[in-house]
């Protein structure tokens, strides 16, 4: 058991709080077939990266944001379910001590909370809230700012390498989940856990208006 202290928690969404892997793969496979590209090629570049940036890389000759919104519309209410432990973990956090930082666009991110038991956060930093997505730290820096804390006082939970890179670059403590990728891919996290069922809030002390000292316990795999 590893003890971690922080002022706030910043969570990725897909693969961290929500098991949307099948829906995401199906949407990108459908898109690849529609544009006549190899689905494996598209899938290799999309996980943990903003949809709009995938479109910019593909340079399809259509507005990237418009095409990204179309693909993400296929993911809304797509049968996603919470990652084990995610519902309980979010319920145990003070509502002003956590935020979601996602590569999804705002409508897709919002739908994740409408169609599951997950507690809706006060703050969601989505793909269109920052100029550059993960591995750039902008999303996590904005998430910390919205919570009124320094990124270095936050713990970031992520399931993909670009997200861990972003968390590390922001100066946060990083926790990699093995829900999507093997240990080798997540080994540059500060800590690695199987899923959110391995994370527990053991103490939350309010030290000021919307200011907290959180103590987390992690059942780490190293």
- Higher pLDDT: 207 or 56? It is 207
The closest of 152, 150, 108 to 127, measured between CA atoms, is 108
- For residues 116 and 213, membership in a common domain is answered with yes
Helix residue ranges, H only, the chain: 21-35, 39-46, 51-58, 64-73, 86-91, 106-114, 138-147, 161-170, 183-186
- pTM of full prediction above 0.75: yes
pLDDT for 42 equals 85
Q: What is the pLDDT of residues 39-77, one digit of tens each?
A: 888 888 877 778 888 888 888 888 877 888 888 787 775
- Look up tokens 């507690």; give the residue: 119
How many domains does one find in the chain?
2
Active-site choice (12, 19, 136, 153): 12
Residues 60 and 100 placed together within one structural domain of the fold: no
109 shares its domain with 55? no
Q: Report the C-alpha gap between 23 and 6 in whole angstroms.
A: 33
203 or 55: whose pLDDT is higher?
A: 203
Question: What does each C-alpha distance from 116 to 18, 103, 105, 113, 120 come to in angstroms?
Answer: 9, 19, 18, 5, 10
Q: Assess whether 46 and 14 both reside in one domain.
A: no
14 is catalytic: yes
Count how many Cα atoms sit within 13 Å of the Cα of residue 180 in the half-sphere of its side chain.
30
Residue-range definition of the domain harbouring residue 211: 2-20+80-218
Residue 26 sits at φ, ψ, to 5 deg, of -65, -40
In tens, the pLDDT along 124-176 reads: 999 889 999 999 999 999 999 999 999 999 999 999 999 999 999 999 999 99
Whether residues 47 and 67 share a domain: the answer is yes
Task: Clarify whether residues 15 and 35 are in a common domain.
Answer: no
Identify the bridge partners of residue 204 per DSSP, sorted by sequence position. 214
pLDDT value, residue 111: 84
Q: In this predicted model, which residue has the larger pLDDT, 58 or 212? A: 212
**108 token code pair:** 């897709």
Predicted confidence at residue 54, as pLDDT, reads 84
Residues 106, 60, single domain; the answer is: no
User: In this structure, are 89 and 191 located in the same domain?
Assistant: yes
Catalytic residue status for 25? no
- pLDDT tens track for 77-124: 566 789 999 999 999 999 999 999 999 888 888 888 887 899 999 999
Residue 78 burial class via C-beta count within 10 angstroms: exposed 0-12, middle 13-18, buried 19 and up: middle
pLDDT at 77 (0 to 100)? 58
Here the CATH number for the domain that contains residue 162 is 3.40.50.1000
Same domain, 106 and 185: yes
Give CA–CA dist 28/72, Å, rounded: 9
Q: From the candidates 14, 19, 129, 195, which is the catalytic residue?
A: 14
State whether 153 and 53 are in the same domain. Answer: no
């Amino acid at each position: 058991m590893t003890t971690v202290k922080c002022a706030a928690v910043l969570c990725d969404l897909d693969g961290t709080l929500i098991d949307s892997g099948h829906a995401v793969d199906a949407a990108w496979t459908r898109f690849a077939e529609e544009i006549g590209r190899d689905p494996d090629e598209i899938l290799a570049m999309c996980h943990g990266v903003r949809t709009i940036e995938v479109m910019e890389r593909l340079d399809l000759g259509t507005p990237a944001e418009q095409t990204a919104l179309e693909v993400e519309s296929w993911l809304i209410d797509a049968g996603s379910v919470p990652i084990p432990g995610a519902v309980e973990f979010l319920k145990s956090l003070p509502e002003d001590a956590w935020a979601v930082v996602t590569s999804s666009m705002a409508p897709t991110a919002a739908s994740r909370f409408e169609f599951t038991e997950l507690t809706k956060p006060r703050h969601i930093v989505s793909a269109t809230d920052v100029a550059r997505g993960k591995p750039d730290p902008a999303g996590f820096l904005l998430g910390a700012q919205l919570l009124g804390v320094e990124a270095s006082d936050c713990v970031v939970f992520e399931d993909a390498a670009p997200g861990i890179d972003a968390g590390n670059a922001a100066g946060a403590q990083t926790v990699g989940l093995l829900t999507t990728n093997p240990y080798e891919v997540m080994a540059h996290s500060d800590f690695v856990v199987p899923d959110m069922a391995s994370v527990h809030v053991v103490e939350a002390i309010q030290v000021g208006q919307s200011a907290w000292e959180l103590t987390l316990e992690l059942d780490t795999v190293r």
